[in-house]
């Protein structure tokens, strides 16, 4: 997981090395992400939804630029 405004180069490289589609938590989802981390013990579904939605957006960028992670 990466924040759009942070230094995420190392994490992104590690993700790509292991064929994991990295994802970015953009500013519009950051507060939801933090809230769901805090509430993880009570409700796990919302955090999973945020974490599953973010890679789809990143994958769309990869597809647009025809970048294949499985090389």
Question: Would 14 be classed as within a structural domain?
Answer: yes
CA distance readout (Å), 6 to 25, 35, 51:
10, 19, 17
What total number of domains does the chain contain?
Answer: 1
Query: How many residues would you count in the chain?
Result: 71
Question: Would 57 be classed as within a structural domain?
Answer: yes
Question: Would 70 be classed as within a structural domain?
Answer: no
Question: Would 7 be classed as within a structural domain?
Answer: yes
Question: Would 51 be classed as within a structural domain?
Answer: yes
Query: How high is the pLDDT of residue 1?
Result: 53
pLDDT tens for residues 17-64? 777 776 777 788 888 888 888 888 888 787 878 777 777 777 788 888
Question: Would 25 be classed as within a structural domain?
Answer: yes
Domain that holds residue 21: 2-64
């Amino acid at each position: 997981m990466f924040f759009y405004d942070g230094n995420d180069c190392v994490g992104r490289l590690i993700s790509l090395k292991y064929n994991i589609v990295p994802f970015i938590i953009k500013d519009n989802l950051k507060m939801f992400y933090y809230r769901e981390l805090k509430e993880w013990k009570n409700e796990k579904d919302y955090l999973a939804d945020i974490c599953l939605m973010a890679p789809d957006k990143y994958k769309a960028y990869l597809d647009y630029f025809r970048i294949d992670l499985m090389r």
